[in-house]
């Protein structure tokens, strides 16, 4: 189970369609235990891996824009977004991807078919986390608060603590959104499950 307090200081909020890499960065930070200061390090690493910049330290806004243009081109022609993230996680030789691979194993699932297995592994005390891309718009009830609307083709980082699943949505920014006692809310979704090595 991935304790909520591991996301307590997360502040990343996207201003454009950065959700796949941003959610991956949010999901990896608890595994990396302080060796990554912020999600922007993953954007810089992506730019270095894809030879979009020559050195670390590219300005944050520039790294996001470079990533988005390159990622959109690659995923439109050759890969799904999650296939590209899998390749970065497994084969990149640029930190923080190398550190993430050393700490977290990755497995691809599909929802709803694999929901029971993903739920079981997220409940594990080993601090597992999932990256879930919702393939159709989803409404998530929030008790007394207004329901949360997730747009189609949007990625979020999902964890479990106590008796409930929760997510960090880069469209929302700071704070966690309650999902409930299972993942049935995701009626059709791709899922990358990360488990601690």
Distance separating alpha carbons of residues 190 and 133, to the nearest angstrom: 5
Residue 88 falls within a domain, yes or no?
A: yes
- Position 33 in a domain: yes
Predicted local confidence at residue 145, as pLDDT: 67
| Percent of the chain clearing pLDDT 70 (strictly above) | 87
Tally of structural domains, the chain: 1
What digits encode the pLDDT tens for the residues 62-81?
Answer: 889 999 999 999 888 878 88
Q: What is the DSSP letter of 151?
A: P
**Residue 97, in any domain of the structure:** yes
Angle of helix 40-49 relative to helix 19-32, nearest 10 degrees, comes to 110
Model-level pTM? 0.89
Structural domain contains residue 9: no
**Local confidence band at 94 (pLDDT 50, 70, 90 cut-offs):** very high
**3 state DSSP class of 74:** helix
7 part of a folded domain: no
Could you tell me if residue 8 is inside a domain? no
Q: Is 5 inside any structural domain?
A: no
Asked whether residue 6 is assigned to any structural domain, the reply reads: no
- Which 8-state DSSP code applies to residue 195? E
With a cut of 70, say whether residue 148 has pLDDT above it: no
Contact between 136 and 187 under an 8 Å Cβ cutoff? The reply is yes
Query: Hey, what are 12's tokens?
Result: 């990343």
**Separation between Cα atoms, residue 40 and residue 187, nearest integer Å:** 31
Q: Is the pLDDT of residue 1 over 70?
A: no
Write out the two tokens for 73. Answer: 């081109």
Contact criterion met (CB below 8 Å) for 121 and 128: yes
Q: Where in the sequence is the domain holding 76, given as residue range(s)?
A: 14-196
pLDDT in tens, 11-56: 889 988 899 999 999 999 889 987 888 899 999 999 999 999 866 6
Q: Which helix (H) or strand (E) holds 3?
A: none
Strand duo 145-150 + 154-161: pairing:
unpaired
Q: 45 or 184: which carries more pLDDT confidence?
A: 45
């Amino acid at each position: 189970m991935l304790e909520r307090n591991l996301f307590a200081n997360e502040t990343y909020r996207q201003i454009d369609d950065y959700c796949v890499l941003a959610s991956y960065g949010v999901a990896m930070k608890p595994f990396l235990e302080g060796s990554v200061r912020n999600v922007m390090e993953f954007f810089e690493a992506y730019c270095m891996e894809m030879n979009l910049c020559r050195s670390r330290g590219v300005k944050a806004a520039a790294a996001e824009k470079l990533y988005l243009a390159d990622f959109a081109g690659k995923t439109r022609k050759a890969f799904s977004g999650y296939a590209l993230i899998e390749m970065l996680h497994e084969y990149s030789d640029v930190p923080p991807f190398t550190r993430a691979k050393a700490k977290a194993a990755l497995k691809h699932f599909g929802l709803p078919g694999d929901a029971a297995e993903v739920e079981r592994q997220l409940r594990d005390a080993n601090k597992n986390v999932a990256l879930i891309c919702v393939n159709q718009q989803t409404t998530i009830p929030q008790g007394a608060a207004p329901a949360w609307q997730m747009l189609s083709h949007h990625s979020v980082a999902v964890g479990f603590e106590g008796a409930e699943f929760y997510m960090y949505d880069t469209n929302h920014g700071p704070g966690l959104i309650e999902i409930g006692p299972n993942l049935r809310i995701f009626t059709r979704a791709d899922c990358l499950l990360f488990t601690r090595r």
